Amino acid sequence: TKNEPFSPRTFRGLGNKGTLPWKCNSVDMKYFSSVTTYVDESKYEKLKWKRERYLRMEASQGGGDNTSGGDNTHGGDNADKLQNVVVMGRSSWESIPKQYKPLPNRINVVLSKTLTKEDVKEKVFIIDSIDDLLLLLKKLKYYKCFIIGGAQVYRECLSRNLIKQIYFTRTNGA
């Protein structure tokens, strides 16, 4: 796994119908977990200030101020611990094996217009738009936010310039 600048020339794809186009391996999964769970509490205040400034600018360009989805608590044993947010679409959520749901030591957010809290027994946030995501992020205490899939979520976040850095896995022979 290598951390490189994103280039459409080297980018070959995300997933297809809830699966990855390459075989998952433990090294890749451990890297994903380490990146999306890493928190440096000493940098939190600086990140928070930058994020709040950005979200104020985003809010001034439109969008209301009420999140949907009812009782959306992530709670659990780590509710007071500073964590990262992982945002995914419904198909990405459904592709995660049951034993790994919700992704541990992260605040899980599922973007879906069809899932309900009753469909998802795990403690996750269910929202139905990127605008609701931005409103939710204003209310949460978190370190970083990672968009982890799928293609529609990436596409919308990229088109709105919400993604500042991309981590990707280069595999050979995929």
* Residue of higher predicted confidence among 105 and 61: 105
Residue type (1 letter), 84: N
Note the Cα 123 to chain centre separation in Å: 15
What's the pLDDT tens digit per position in 153-166? 999 999 999 998 98
- Kindly state the average pLDDT of the residues 10-34: 69
- Kindly state the average pLDDT of the residues 131-145: 95
The answer to whether 131 and 124 are in contact (CB under 8 A) is no
Give the single-character DSSP code of 16: B
The answer to whether 83 and 142 are in contact (CB under 8 A) is yes
Residues in contact with 172: Cβ distance below 8 Å, sequence separation at least 6, in sequence order? none
What's the pLDDT tens digit per position in 41-98? 999 999 888 888 877 776 677 654 433 343 344 544 466 799 999 999 999 999 999 9
The mean predicted confidence, pLDDT, of the chain is: 80
Note the Cα 27 to chain centre separation in Å: 20
CA diameter of the chain: 47
Q: Going from the N-terminus, what domains does the chain have, and what CATH number goes with each?
A: 26-159 (3.40.430.10)
